[in-house]
Amino acid sequence: MFNKNLRSHERTPFVDSLEYSVAIMDFNRLKAVEDVAVVIDMSKKGMGILTNQPLNVGNVLNFKKNNKIPSHTAVVKWAKMIDETTCRAGIKFT
């Protein structure tokens, strides 16, 4: 996971749901996936999320309109499955 000491902006707890879409490789084909993530913390430049969709570093998430989120897109900087169905990821706003 990400070393908290390397963060340039402090994250603060923040709980909200966030609808997003992401393009995932599925059997050598790009597949558009829509899902809902749970935002667990946020900073000026990114946030931590939980989702049922496995994510990979470099995936680009496009958010549905949400006035609480300062950007409409973000890039996955790190991701880890924390159990069989839940992915924890750190994303950076673009």
Per the domain annotation, does 83 fall within a domain?
A: yes
Task: Judge whether 2 lies within some domain.
Answer: no
Domain count across the chain: 1
Q: Is 34 exposed, middle or buried (0-12, 13-18, 19+ CB in 10 A)?
A: exposed
pLDDT class for 13, splitting at 50, 70, 90? Answer: confident
Q: Does 6 reside within a domain? A: no
* pLDDT single digits (tens) 38-84: 999 999 899 999 999 999 999 999 998 776 777 789 999 999 999 99
Domain around 86:
11-93
- Other C-beta atoms closer than 10 Å to the C-beta of 30 total 8
Residue 3 lies in a domain: no
The Cα 6–Cα 9 span in angstroms is: 9
**Does residue 48 sit within a domain?**
yes
Which of 80, 70, 83, 87 has its CA nearest to residue 36? 87
Looking at residue 18, its amino acid is: L
Structure confidence at residue 4 (pLDDT): 53
Percent of the chain with pLDDT over 70: 89
Which region among 7-21, 22-36, 71-85 has the lowest average model confidence (pLDDT)?
7-21
Residue 4 within any structural domain of the chain: no
Query: Tell me, what CATH number does 24's domain have?
Result: 2.40.10.220
